[in-house]
Amino acid sequence: MKVLSKLSINTAVYSNISNMKYDSPINDVGRGFIVEYHRTRTGPNFFMVFYKGCSRIVTEPIEVSRTLGSARYLDSSKVLRAWCEEMVEQYEKKAEEGMSKEEKVLEYAKTAGFGPEGHTDTADGVDETDPNYQTRMIT
């Protein structure tokens, strides 16, 4: 019977949970250096960096470089940062240019909303074709 260490059991369970994981091409498990890019359905995508016996979760490629300390100036670290930027560029959803977040929300509300922001407005501020044009609130 094969006895599994606590670390290998946790790694096996963790690997089954996170199925959208991409390993860095320069990982060196024997020396204790691992970088993974994790894609999530909800929440932001992130990098998991394991270096010098400590793991960190960071969201930006520059933070991956900061984790490396003085080793960030090596050529292999520059390759790692280029890979991180490639992952972010490939998998992050780009915001539509020219529209702020509030404008996107209002645009969505006009197409699918039912509140006051969902009604179309005319130049004078009243749309007479709206079915709720002459409704009043009972107080």
Residue 122 has pLDDT above 60, yes or no: no
Considering the domain boundaries, does residue 51 fall inside one?
yes
pLDDT band at 86 (very low <50, low <70, confident <90, very high): very high
Q: Which amino acid is at 23?
A: D
Considering the domain boundaries, does residue 135 fall inside one?
no
pLDDT band at 13 (very low <50, low <70, confident <90, very high): very low
Of 8-12, 82-86, 94-98, where does mean pLDDT reach its minimum? 8-12
Number of domains in the chain: 1
Cα 74 to Cα 68: distance, rounded to the nearest angstrom: 10
Output the CA–CA distances (angstroms, integers) from residue 44 to 47, 87, 91, 106, 134, in the order listed: 10, 13, 11, 23, 44
Considering the domain boundaries, does residue 28 fall inside one?
yes
Residue spans of alpha helices (H) in 1-139: 6-17, 61-67, 75-91, 101-112
* 23-78 confidence digits (pLDDT tens): 999 888 888 899 999 988 777 889 999 998 999 999 999 999 999 888 888 898 99
Count the helices and strands in the chain (H runs, E runs): 4, 4
DSSP state of 117: G
Parent domain of 78:
12-91
- How confident is the model at residue 134, as a pLDDT? 72
Give phi and psi for 69, each to the nearest 5. Answer: 70, -130
Considering the domain boundaries, does residue 128 fall inside one?
no
Considering the domain boundaries, does residue 124 fall inside one?
no
pLDDT band at 16 (very low <50, low <70, confident <90, very high): very low
Cα 46 to Cα 35: distance, rounded to the nearest angstrom: 10
Considering the domain boundaries, does residue 32 fall inside one?
yes
Considering the domain boundaries, does residue 63 fall inside one?
yes
pTM for this one?
A: 0.56
Q: Collapsing DSSP states into helix, strand and coil, what is residue 116?
A: helix
Q: What percent of the chain has pLDDT over 90?
A: 29
DSSP state of 131: T
